[in-house]
Amino acid sequence: MSRDDRLAVGLAGAGPWARAVHAPVFAAGPETRLAGVWSRTREHAEALATTHGAPVIGSFDALLECCDAVAFAVPPDVQPELAVRAARAGKAVLLEKPLALDTAGAERVAKAVAENGVGSMMVLTYRFAPAVRQFLTRAAKFDTLGARACFLSGAFLSGEYASSPWRVQHGALLDVGPHILDLVDAAVGRVIRVQAQGNVHDWISVVLHHETGAISDVSISCRAAITPSRTEVELFGPEGTLSVDGRADQRAELFANLRVDFVGVAQDGRRHPCDAEHGLYLQRLLTATEFALASGRITRV
C-alpha cells in the first residue's frame, strides 16, 4: 500500500489503552497513519501525539475534519455521543467495549452506524488473535454439549485500571465481560438465557443457555491475584474437548490483524463480525446478566 493510500485514523482519547494500543497500532501502519489525537484532557493528547509524531487536535469536530475514520479510546458513558457524531459525519468507527453504559446508549450507536452506512468494528481484542481464530473455526464444527470459560486477572488490585472511575463504579462485568462473553457466544452459539451469581466487583459466576441447547459456565473477576492472567474457553462434547488460551498469541500479530481488518471495514465497506450491531447484542447480554445478578432469576437476552 502506498503512503497516499493509507487510512487516516483520528484518535479520540489519550488514556492508558490509547497509549498502549490505539496510537502505536495506527501510527505503525503501513496501512494506516495517525491523523491526529484529541482528548478532553489536552495535556494527555499533547503527550501522546508528540510520542507518535501526530498533530494535537483542539476539538472533536476538528478531529472529524482531518480523518477518514475515528478510533475511540474513551469511557463508555462518553462513547455514544461521540460515535453518533462520527457516524453522522460519514466516518468509519473503531469502538471500545462495552459500546455504552446501558442498552439505550448502545442502541443509539448501532442505529447511527446503520442509518449512515459507515463501517464499524469493536475492539474485542481476542477475536484478532490467530489462535482464537483457529479455535473458532474448529468450534464451528464441534458438537458442543457444554463449555467452561474464565477471564481472571488482578487488574483492579493496582495500577491505572484500578483507579479508572467507570471501572471502579461498574466492576469487571462491563469491563472484561464483553471479551469472554463474546468468545463463548462465538464458540458455542447465540445466548438466549442467563443465570448469574456473585457481584460485579469481586467475582461473577454466569451460566449461559445457548440456542444450540448447550450450557456454558463462565467465571469473571479482575481481583484475582494470579500471574499471568487467564482468558480461556474449553468446549466439551462426544468428540472430546477443544480449548483455547486467549493470552497465547503475540500482541504484535494480534494488533496487526486488527489494523488490517479495520482498514477493510473503513475503505471497502466490509461487514465485520464484531461490528456495532454485535456490540449492541453484547450490551443486551450484559444487561441481562446484570438483571440476573440483581434478581436471582433466569433472564432472557
Query: Among 104-108, 173-177, 227-231, 284-288, which stretch is predicted with the lowest mean pLDDT?
Result: 227-231
Write out the CATH class of domain 3-125+251-274: alpha beta
Q: Encode pLDDT of 29-61 as tens digits.
A: 899 999 999 999 999 999 999 999 999 999 999
Q: What is the per-residue pLDDT for 247?
A: 85
Query: What digits encode the pLDDT tens for the residues 173-229?
Result: 999 999 999 999 999 999 999 999 999 999 999 999 999 999 999 999 999 999 899
Predicted confidence (pLDDT) at residue 3 exceeds the cutoff of 80 = no
For 249, the grid coordinates are: 498469541
Q: What pLDDT is attached to residue 147?
A: 98
At residue 252 the predicted structure's pLDDT band, cuts being 50, 70 and 90, is: confident
Contact 11, 60 (CB under 8 A): no
- 126-248+283-300: in CATH 3.30.360.10: yes
**CA 196, 202, 203, 208 torsion-angle sign:** positive
Domain boundaries, the chain: 3-125+251-274, 126-248+283-300
User: With 50 as the cut, is the pLDDT of residue 272 above it?
Assistant: yes
Segment 108-125 shows an average pLDDT of 97
| Concatenated DSSP letters of 153-203 | --TTTSSTGGG-HHHHHH-HHHHTHHHHHHHHHHHH--EEEEEEEEETTTE
Q: Is the pLDDT of residue 250 over 90?
A: no
SS3 46: helix
Q: What is the pLDDT of residues 136-163, one digit of tens each?
A: 999 999 999 999 999 999 999 999 899 9
What is the sign of the dihedral through the CA atoms of 91, 92, 98 and 102?
positive
Alpha helices in 6-91 (DSSP H): 16-17, 23-28, 42-51, 60-65, 79-88
Look at residue 1 and tell me whether its pLDDT is greater than 70. no
- Measured CA to CA, the distance from residue 21 to residue 2 in angstroms comes to 23
